[in-house]
Amino acid sequence: MTSGVDLGRPQAQTVGSDEDVVRVRQLVRTVAVAVRLSLVDQTKVVTAASELARNTLVYGGGGTVEVAAVDNGRRPGIRIVFADTGPGIADLDLALTDGYTTGGGLGLGLSGARRLVDEFDIQTAPGQGTRITITKWSR
Amino acid sequence: MALSADESGRLGELLASRSEQVTQRWTEIIAGQLRGRLSQAELVRQVQELHRALVDALSKGAVDLNAEDATELRAVLADFSRGQARQGFSATETATGVFALKEALLTALDNDQSVATLRDYVAFSALVDQMGLFTFETFVRTRESLIADQAEQLLELSTPVVKLWESVVAVPLVGTLDSARAQVVMERLLQTLVDTGSPYAIIDITGVPAVDTQVAQHILKTVVAARLMGADCIISGIRPQIAQTIVALGIEFGDIATKASLADALRHVLRLTGVETSRRQPRREA
């Protein structure tokens, strides 16, 4: 459930370490500034990207992140895809519950990230890896 | 292609007998590319040391750089490239410094054009290549360790704990708060609380670009740890965009006091400790 036309080439970043999570944040911030997101929305999308990139690293065992500027004809926006080939999520509803964690965190990353963006799409199955696409539109 | 024992002996003799000519030409070539960034005396000393170590290794019959007899040569080369790396020379300049030996030797060969000489020269050239690669590797290792040192220094630098007032300490956090830094911050803060006996600590996050759940968790853990030691923590420097993000994420700071600015936090603590802050009456003009 995503809409809009891609603008320019998406930029990819592999996620294999904590430093890569920082790089993802910087990349997302650069693109968010380029598509003229407000300061609040920049912070929200950067934070969401930080959560999901860390999930990719910690639970997915590393993966890739693609950041692209998009446009739905009315507003520009930023779209980010997080993909890993890890164990996948068995119970998605449970994983999206506030406070549920299997890794000792606060259990707010996945559910919180969903609240921080406009569009949130997740494709996952046990053993099939996880692919999350988020979009934030400029207001 | 390694040198034969014969060849290394011959080359050792040649280098020893033409010592002055070779080192002079070698120094000239290096000096040409360094363009005065290293003093002539220092350069001559380095080249002579390299030359001496090389002649030494060859006369002992070293056939390649990994040989037992070349231990000292390796040490001198390592010293040379470490020095270059520390002084900010590029990897190319460092390696070329060694490769220049080939040209220097060529001048020492005069116009001897026999096939045997050519064979010796090619064999020697392989040894110089080995030396160059070794230099290159040492150079890279030195640079890497320099970077690691700097990262560590930065970690130390970026987490000061400052005393703001009698019984009030503050930690101004700047940059990314990852697990390693969070650990350093917590240790520093707890140690300072013990050293100063301060009952209040302010954690200022004005300089933290993004507060995600991991950062929040690190801060919460630090606050809880400080509480266990009997100190109260106030979190300050929460900008509007950070506040909105924290709300959307669903992070709760519970009963931890939070303030928009460091000044607000200090005022809050001073009030708690009973220090009066009052504005001085503006003086009236008569």
Identify whether residues B81 and B123 lie together within a single domain.
yes
Checking if the pLDDT of B122 tops 80, the result is: yes
Identify whether residues B55 and B87 lie together within a single domain.
yes
Residues of chain A with pLDDT under 70: 1-8
What's the half-sphere exposure (Cβ side, CA atoms, 13 Å) at A103?
18
Mean pLDDT of B176-187: 81
Checking if the pLDDT of B58 tops 50, the result is: yes
* Within-domain flag for B278: no
Task: Pick the last residue of a domain from B128, B152, B176.
Answer: B152
Query: Which residue range is the domain that position A87 belongs to?
Result: 5-137
This prediction has a pTM of 0.66
**CATH number of the domain enclosing A127:** 3.30.565.10
- Between CA B120 and CA B214 the distance in angstroms is 64
| pLDDT grade for B62, boundaries at 50, 70 and 90 | confident
Interface test with A, best of B213, B217, B238, B239 (most A CBs within 10 A): B213
Task: Scan residues 87-146 of B and list those with Cβ closer than 8 Å to A.
Answer: none
pLDDT score recorded for residue A1: 45
* Within-domain flag for B200: yes
Identify whether residues B147 and B178 lie together within a single domain.
no
Q: Is the ipTM of this complex over 0.90?
A: no
Checking if the pLDDT of B34 tops 90, the result is: no
Number of domains present in the structure of chain B: 2
**CATH number of the domain enclosing B33:** 1.10.490.10
CA distance B156 to chain A (A): 18
Find the residue in B nearest to A53 (Cα).
B212
**CATH number of the domain enclosing B223:** 3.30.750.24
* Within-domain flag for B286: no
**Residue A1 touches chain B, beta carbons under 8 Å:** no
DSSP state of B87: T
CA quadruple A76, A115, B204, B234: dihedral, nearest 10:
160
- Between CA A81 and CA A64 the distance in angstroms is 8
Identify whether residues B184 and B146 lie together within a single domain.
no
* A86-91 own/partner pairs: CB under 8 Å, 24+ apart: A86/A56, A86/A59, A86/A60, A86/A61, A86/A129, A86/A130, A87/A59, A87/A60, A87/A126, A87/A127, A88/A124, A88/A125, A88/A126, A88/A127, A88/A128, A88/A129, A88/A130, A89/A122, A89/A124, A89/A126, A89/A130, A90/A126
- Between CA B42 and CA B1 the distance in angstroms is 33
Checking if the pLDDT of B215 tops 70, the result is: yes
Mean pLDDT of B258-263: 93
Query: Which residue range is the domain that position B182 belongs to?
Result: 162-272
Window from B73-77, B112-116, B265-269 with minimum mean pLDDT: B112-116
Identify whether residues B129 and B11 lie together within a single domain.
yes
- Between CA A61 and CA A85 the distance in angstroms is 8
Number of domains present in the structure of chain A: 1
